[in-house]
Amino acid sequence: MSQSNKFKTQATAFYILLLYIACQLSGLLLLIPGVGDLFLQFIDADTKESGIILVAWWSTITMAITFIVSFILISKNKNFWNVFKGEKASIGESIGWGILGFFLVLVGQSIAANIEMALGIPMGSENTETIVLITEIAPIMMVTTVLFAPILEELIFRRVVFGSIIQTQNFWLAGIISAIVFAAIHLEFTHLLIYAVSGLIFAFLYYKTKRLLTSIIAHMLLNGFVSITQLFIDDIERIMKEMQMILIFLP
């Protein structure tokens, strides 16, 4: 890659990072008197839960805008995806690794959770509980959780952060730095290890296949699995108890 193309690619990555930061901070606009009320008129949410509905729609729309603008910027730079040397994995292989990566993350999180418990850190994620609460009231939040958030987070933390560092450093340094940044952005510092392990596995998937599609698939599956499990936890527990009863009475 020529020096001019390299500079253009770094500039694109920087603009996308700024765009993502602006998206994350855009919620502060809702603190301006009148802004939230004005926005609520467009989504027809005149209920006692209008504040939660507002947050859900605001998150979804701002992330959708960030997604669209980011890929418009990327489309103007053909070298943006040229991070690694060598041939990329096929689409089929990338999808396969993405599905396998989902299970790798589950195992990694389980190990990290056990380490945290051994250290006396209580289980449970306030971030997850908040998102689930919002989703129960405003299902549109599921679009953000399962679609836009995984794509944008992989674009930022794997392509922009990890992808920029690994061009001059080894996998472990780039992976650990990007994983720590990924963990910190979730603002749950007691569970830093769980998020960091997830981030490191996502980085490995990207590095392994040289396609961001792989880590996006794994991330989407993880968010979808956690969301559905939490939303229907009571039904799942009831079904499990019923299955146990059936097994007891099998001849």
103 contacts 184 by C-beta, under 8 angstroms: no
Which member of 87, 126, 153, 188 is catalytic? 153
Cα(45)–Cα(241) distance, rounded to whole angstroms?
38
CB 212 within 8 A of CB 205: no
Annotated active-site residue 237? The verdict is no
- Residue 34: which residues within 8 A CB-CB, separation 6 or more? none
Angle at 23 (CA atoms; ends 18, 27), nearest 5 degrees:
135
Active site residue 153: yes
Report angle CA 121, 122, 123 to the nearest 5 degrees. Answer: 120
Q: Which of 154, 186, 191, 219 is catalytic?
A: 186
Q: Which residues are catalytically annotated?
A: 153, 186
